[in-house]
Chains A and B, each alone.
Chain A
Amino acid sequence: MATIGHNNLNAKLVLLGDMGAGKSSLVLRFVKGQFLEFQESTIGAAFFSQTLAVNDATVKFEIWDTAGQERYHSLAPMYYRGAAAAIIVYDITSTDSFSRAKKWVQELQKQGNPNMVMALAGNKADLEDKRKVTAEEARVYAEENGLFFMETSAKSAANVNEIFYEIAKRLPRAQPAQNPPGMVLVDRPAEGSRAASCCS
């Protein structure tokens, strides 16, 4: 959950998507500015943090990079529970990975935090000649489902910082006040206590 202290925001962000779509590579590019042709497979999940300055505030992302294999699906709720943002990643050279991305979107819409900022990333945009998913198809899907969409390349760095920056901008600022009255956040009884202890 995004929590606020002065002009600093802490935001939990989760990356979801098919095995080999490039989730870890996107994080590595964003956090360390590096790219590895063969990124070690993620087991369970890996944690990173990175701070971005947006206008006059800073956003500290706490990033959970999850394992992509289907059977790891049963672990996912532990990672997206209470997340302020999610990047759903697919590989533009694989239609299967796009279908899988749609399933993740569906799951987050039903199970995730209702204020979650969701981004759809069509990764490996540098592999234009192997493309199987058109940008148009993905854009239409994203619009219909209230996500914002970018094609990214962890390899060339295209749109990697941009997608995180865009998420940072879209995070609700004064979160409690923006919730419409009468909305019940049953899932997160500890929200208040968390906000009080966030200033680490």
Chain B
Amino acid sequence: MYGTQSKIDLAIEYKSQIPILRPSIHSRRANITVKFQDIYGFTVEGNVDDVNVLNEVREKVRQQGRAWWALEANKGANWYLHTTIGEGNALKSSLKFSALVNAITLKKLIRKGIPPVLRPKVWFALSGAAKKKSTVPESYYNDLTKAVEGKVTAATRQIDHDLPRTFPGHPWLDTTEGHAALRRVLVGYSFRDSDVGYCQGLNFVAALLLLVMKTEEDAFWMLAVLLENVLVNDCYTNNLSGCHVEQRVFKDLLTKKCPRIAAHLEALEFDISLVATEWFLCLFAKSLPSETTLRVWDVIFYEGAMVIFNVALAIFKMKEDELLLTHHIGEVLNVLQKTTHHLFDPDDLLTVAFDKKLGSMTTNTISKERKKQEPEVMKELDERSKRLNSFQMDEK
């Protein structure tokens, strides 16, 4: 076996020490920038307040771990692995009352965060990855990676190009071993679904999956379930049509849920896709701090892709006052970038994202919106490609 089952040992998780800062320097603390590694090995640059927030977050993660263990003691080991989500009808008939209680408990619990040690197991079971894997022979992943070894395609060339450009400087991802693991996952997937092949952005998603899942094979199945079941179709294919659809749905949602922001941004001629495209394609992996991103993913894997809309809306909503004061596209981008980069406390974001005031959204309403936008997007993309082809004909 060539390392495909090897555990990624992120010793840094326990080793990294965040400096504890003394109150004596409070007066000038806002000016001090410190660099350190977070629990997933990413270098974070922040001021002393950020460091303190991160320390508080660590403590909250520990408390949340205790909540999970307590429930485990109460409801039995792995209770959460046998619970399905309560969207609509599924629950009514088939499940007993206790299962319903469990489902509600689990939904709440997951919104408060899955402890990092449990993430691989919980994600794998609840996302549907385990089920997907169970439908093919045990050796599927190894056979796939062996079969495609040494093959060169447009996708493999692009993957090779992007390996060192995926979280450069990360203590594991940016090593020969890390590159090789990421390569096998991405190349394997490019052969599994040749319509997707390789799309830039997936490198960041797969890299984070590797860091969380610890084994390459599990990361591969998480990527598969994400693209094939969780996200809208065609997010990453050919002309990113799925992503275009999502952007339109999001624009409509922002207009409905945050009309003042939407109107202000429109007056500035700020198209929200300018910033939201990256959020949707990388699932925030490039914009939010790692633990915050993974807390968002906790909920995505349990509740579905509409969570991306909740979170994206929340980012705008949190900064409503500041955004309304902007006069220029550059300022809007600065506000949003500064906000996302400093969201070290996942609860700050998720509380707003799931606040009743934003109004509830269901997978159903989002699906309806998507169906509404789809024909228009397809028509536009089609017209555009016709126009581009016609220039090229002119030249010949």
Contact = CB atoms under 8 A, between A and B. Distances in A.
Given A72-B240, A78-B273, A40 B165 contact: yes
A45 B167 CA distance: 17
A5 to B, nearest CB: 12
Contact of B274 (A41, A47, A68): A47
A106 B395 contact: yes
Contact of B238 (A71, A82, A110): A71
Contacts of A169: none
A155 to B, nearest CB: 15
A20 B161 contact: yes
A45 B276 CA distance: 10
A194 interface: yes
A196 to B, nearest CB: 11
B333 interface: yes
- Name the interface size band of chain B: 35 or more
Nearest to A190: B269
A69 interface: yes
A36 interface: yes
B200 A38 contact: no
Interface residues of A, number: 36
Contacts of A7: none
Nearest to A24: B165
Contacts, number: 92
A195 interface: no
A75 interface: yes
A43 B281 contact: yes
B168 A19 contact: no
B203 interface: yes
B391 interface: yes
B278 A19 contact: no
A198 B273 CA distance: 22
Contacts of A19: 158, 161, 200
A103 B395 CA distance: 10
A62 interface: yes
B104 interface: no
B158 A43 contact: no
Interface in A49-99: 49, 62, 67-69, 71-75, 77-79, 82
28 contacts: A36-B168, A38-B164, A38-B165, A39-B168, A40-B166, A41-B165, A41-B203, A43-B281, A43-B282, A43-B286, A44-B273, A44-B274, A44-B275, A44-B277, A44-B281, A47-B329, A47-B330, A49-B330, A67-B200, A71-B239, A74-B239, A74-B381, A74-B384, A79-B274, A106-B391, A197-B327, A200-B327, A200-B330
